[in-house]
Amino acid sequence: MSIAPEIARLKACAVVPVVVIDEAEIAVPLAEALLAGGIDVIEITLRRPAAMAALEVVAKRVPGILPVAGTVVTPAQAAEVHNAGALAVVSPGFTESVDEAMRKTGLPWLPGVATASDCMRAVSAGRLTCKFFPAEQAGGVAGLKALSGPFPQMQFCPTGGVSLANLGNYLALPQVICVGGSWLVPADAVKNRDWAQVTKLSREAREKAAELRG
């Protein structure tokens, strides 16, 4: 089965930093700090007013990184992130209206799933690569294994409670293409503009992921 090059990029990186940005001006140095640590994707969540501007500036000024829009929950947001330069989109759940809007953009979309019913709706829409969210609260590795029984055609990006400590447990599953996590960009590092810390955490994650996947 062929996959979009953007999804292949997520799989190759293995670890996707999920970031919340309050000030658009920090987006570029933050993205550059991730790149310095070997992480070439960034998920900018639409949880703050500055998110759209941050997404746009990263898309324009940091060509080495794949800009992913996260927390897209409405059709209008789907169009907005497309116009801002996102090359892939992630949502915490699945709705038919957002699915339709995403088809209009032509961008790869990872809708969120947590239950068998969620998976059935996603599969019915042809969405076979999904975000497993909130991963730990939805059963963690055991829950993901259980879902993969009736849905062997699906691939997942677990997000929510994933950390360096349990990273290996998720990446060991063949149905997991990558994981998403906020631990790579801790709030205190962002507040203090400690980009060296972000680079250090990124490098640790990439090295562990490479070790696990050979």
- Just list the catalytic residues: 43, 131
62: alpha, beta or left, given left = phi > 0 and alpha = psi -120 to 50? beta
- Residue 144 and residue 170: Cα distance in Å, rounded? 9
Q: In what order do the strands lie in the sheet with 155-158?
A: 112-113, 129-132, 155-158
Asked if residue 81 lies in contact with residue 110, where contact means CB atoms within 8 angstroms, the answer is no
Strand order through the sheet with 109-110: 109-110, 88-90, 66-70, 41-45, 15-19, 179-181
Q: From 39, 23, 34, 24, select the one nearest 178 (Cα to Cα).
A: 39
CA–CA gap between residue 72 and residue 81 (Å, rounded): 8
* Token code pair at residue 108: 């790869």
